[in-house]
Amino acid sequence: MLKKLLFAMLLCTFLQVQAQENLNFNNNKEITSPEINSDKSITFRLMAPGAKKVELQGDMLGHNNPVPMNKQDDGLWTYTTPPVKPELYSYSFIVDGLKIRDANNVYQIRDVASVVNVVIVPDGKAENYLVKDVPHGTVSKRWYKSPGNEKNRRISIYTPPGYEEGKNKYPVLYLLHGMGGDEEAWLALGRTAQILDNLIAQGKAKPMIVVMPNGNVAQGAAPGEDSKGMYKPTMQLPHTMDGKMEETFMDILKFIEVSYRVNANQANRAIAGLSMGGFHSLHISRFYPKTFDYVGLFSPAIMPFSKTTSPVYENFDVTLKKQFSNGLKLYWIGIGKTDFLYKSVADYRKKLDEYGVKYTYSESEGGHTWSNWRDYLVTFSQQLFK
């Protein structure tokens, strides 16, 4: 009997070991990638024993893209960056010419038609992007009727901490994305909810509602989220910058002011956007006078309007001067020194200077990047509704 009991125990132990080996995929060591080191360098790892060449591509590398990774004897490819600044970085691997994602990093973001991995190096300004132990707002995806576009459309809305439990009315920031983006861009790449949660908790920003619409009026919603199905996203869609977005913007404003507890007046409305969204913000705020007290142009795509007949772009100089006579509290412009739109923004500023109007200008390092646009949101949102 004792021998049978010992045999059963040994068999059970053997089966447990075998099962554990299966769970560990034949005892292969677990790979950590990316790994943020104490000096704020980042180590990337990829197991690809059959690959002949593996490269790392990422915005933490600056202009040194891509860089070769080093192959170890066991087939593990590695690369450690120099120390980098605190920031949210995106990256991909290139294996024998094929761009792939990091299988050991579940954190991914879609940027137009590309999906990239992301990593946040903490401290400094990146603390704004982290989820902290503070009161949190709510992000909802709502559908609204847009008579001007003859369809139902989806919109992302951030409500500040305490909105659902309270009765207070709030100011509203309308935050617009760039070309190729949609109603998900500012939440995913812009970290809007985390930024607002943290700034509000610190008392640096007023509690506000942030409305993030889809600026592509040809879409009902982000790719894969409406009846058109799972098609491949593209950069430019019909009616992208021809006045249709501006003409139908009041469908959005009316939906918000009927559906949410807001202070529905000029002093409690702000509008801002990046690139194409900066173009839209410029013209929406000008086309609808006495609607917004705060306007933010983040790397705005300021373009000529000669190829469109939209009434939005008529009498530009006259209506622009009139806008500044309507009691604007803040007209904020931000651009990177190496942004490809730098000259057009400089020309626009020259026009404003000739008019003798007051605006706030911020010039940053870098180019047409989310790193800059997140910075601009942090700065701009702290100046609203004071």
Instruction: For residue range 161-200, list pLDDT tens digits in order.
Output: 999 999 999 999 999 999 989 999 999 999 999 999 999 9
Does 21 map to a domain? Answer: no
Looking at the fold, whether 165 and 112 belong to one and the same domain comes out as no
pLDDT in tens, 269-282: 999 999 999 999 99
Looking at the fold, whether 104 and 136 belong to one and the same domain comes out as no
Q: Is the peptide bond prior to 34 cis by the omega test (within 30 degrees of 0)?
A: yes
pLDDT in tens, 284-303: 999 998 999 999 999 999 97
Residue linked to tokens 């946040």: 120
CA distance 322 to 116: 44
Q: How confident is the model at residue 27 (pLDDT cuts 50, 70, 90)?
A: very low
Does 339 map to a domain? Answer: yes
Looking at the fold, whether 302 and 373 belong to one and the same domain comes out as yes
Which has the minimum average pLDDT: 10-14, 23-27, 122-126, 145-149?
A: 23-27
Predicted confidence at residue 226, as pLDDT, reads: 87
CA separation, residue 345 to residues 251, 285, 302, 341 (Å): 29, 17, 7, 6
Q: Is the pLDDT of residue 213 over 50?
A: yes
Whether this prediction's pTM lies above 0.95 is answered by no
Q: Which of 99, 122, 145 is the last residue of a domain?
A: 122
Q: Which of 57, 92, 122 is the last residue of a domain?
A: 122
Does 285 map to a domain? Answer: yes
Looking at the fold, whether 213 and 356 belong to one and the same domain comes out as yes
Higher pLDDT, 124 or 4: 124
Does 17 map to a domain? Answer: no
- Could you tell me the two tokens for 129? 């992007």
Enclosing domain of residue 108: 35-122
| CATH number (domain holding residue 52) | 2.60.40.10
- Could you tell me the two tokens for 331? 């007209």
Looking at the fold, whether 109 and 162 belong to one and the same domain comes out as no
Q: Are 385 and 208 within 8 A, CB to CB?
A: yes
Helices 370-381, 192-201: axis angle to 10 degrees equals: 30
pLDDT in tens, 31-58: 999 999 999 999 999 999 999 999 999 9
Predicted confidence at residue 304, as pLDDT, reads: 67
pLDDT in tens, 55-100: 999 999 988 889 999 999 999 999 999 999 999 999 999 999 999 9
Which candidate, 141, 114, 113, 118, places its Cα nearest to that of 129?
A: 118
Looking at the fold, whether 81 and 190 belong to one and the same domain comes out as no
Looking at the fold, whether 259 and 329 belong to one and the same domain comes out as yes
What DSSP string runs through 96-113?
Answer: TTEEE--TT---EEEETT
The total domain count for the chain is: 2
| CATH number (domain holding residue 357) | 3.40.50.1820
Q: Which of 122, 151, 180 is the last residue of a domain?
A: 122
Looking at the fold, whether 89 and 166 belong to one and the same domain comes out as no
Average pLDDT score over the chain: 91
